[in-house]
Amino acid sequence: MSIQPYPLHFKPEFKERVWGGRALEKFGFDVPAGVIGEGWMIADHPNGVSHVTNGALAGKGLDEIRESVGAAWFGTKGGGSDNGRFPLLIKLLDCNDDLSIQVHPNDHYEGLPKGELGKTEMWYVLDAKPDAKIIYGLKPGVDRAEMAKAIEEGRIMDTLQEVSVKTGDTFYIPAGTVHALCAGVLVAEIQQNSDTTYRLYDYDRPGLDGKPRELHIEDSLNVTAYEGSGAARMDTDGAKPGEWLTLATSPYFKTDKGVVRGTWTLSTSADSFVIVIVCEGSGSIGWSNGLVDAKAGDCFLLPANLGQYTLDGSMTVLRSLVP
């Protein structure tokens, strides 16, 4: 018997990180003990798979679903990445402390681990403390030689741009952008399905095992885009009810912000699934065969063949798909 498409809701795969905390509890998740930095909300990766909580596919992992339901659910463009897996990875990140200074490679870097892809990503700031900031790119004119010298002399921070952030800010981070989230921010991250990170600096702190975390200086210097990566920042306060505000467009994902006030009727297309992340507020997602409640922190995968659906209630959402 074929299963009729419906919005899939997932149980997150939580990751303990030295920089994590307990902020993901505010969304009502059953967060395990420890310093939890990441919730992998929609994940199909060797390092983490999320499992469906609702409907006919409840209990099944996204990897198993990908193999069983067929291309119609994921779309002609969204049917898989170059490594055969679901093309995107959706996370919520609780930055209770500063993350390492890092950079991600592109798909063509010859040093990529076997089976891995590059990593272009974006952040949407769900919450930020008043003095919150991030590291976002290099200062103008910094080249490889200057960066290498600064690392050797223990002054890498002198080469980096620091920017203040507030709730609702969006940052597009193409591969090659040196970056780091800092303490006091909670973000939604939409990214290529990759877990490849090269660390440039980690504040000389011990990891969860008490030992210094590995740095990847040569790989980092190799993949950094010194002339600029195309990174872009956006203030999203201009989003209007019932209209999509485009936040980021890349070869891997297109993400829009929407403000729901009442009923908003939409439709999927055969090209791609749609991922809906509820940033704040609450409401529901309706379709021809049912209704599912939606609240802040929830992430849904709407199959490409779902067709018409409605967002209802009072909430702010992100919509991501494969362009």
Q: Give yes or no: 319 in active site.
A: no
Question: Using CB atoms within 10 A of its CB, is residue 269 exposed (0-12), middle (13-18) or buried (19+)?
Answer: middle
Residue 6 is which amino acid? Y
Q: What tokens does 3 get?
A: 């299963």
Q: 311 vs 82, 192, 237, 293, CA distance in Å? A: 32, 26, 20, 10
Cα 314-311-61 angle, rounded to 5 deg = 115
> 58: alpha, beta or left, given left = phi > 0 and alpha = psi -120 to 50?
beta
Beta-sheet pairing, 48-49 with 44-45: antiparallel
Of 17, 85, 199, 319, which is the active-site residue? 199
Backbone angles phi, psi at 264, to 5 degrees: -125, 115
Question: CB neighbours of 178 closer than 8 A, spacing ≥ 6?
Answer: 101, 102, 103, 135, 137, 138, 160, 200, 220, 224
Q: Indicate the Cα dihedral angle 206, 211, 213, 218, nearest 10°.
A: 130
Annotated ligand binding at 9? The verdict is no
Q: 41 vs 46, 48, 50, 206, CA distance in Å? A: 15, 10, 6, 27
User: Reduced to 3 states, what is the DSSP secondary structure of residue 1?
Assistant: coil
Q: 49 vs 18, 39, 64, 88, 180, CA distance in Å? A: 21, 11, 10, 12, 25
| Residues placed in the known binding site | 104, 121, 179
| Residues placed in the known binding site for Zn(2+) | 104, 121, 179
Q: Provide the annotated active-site residues.
A: 199
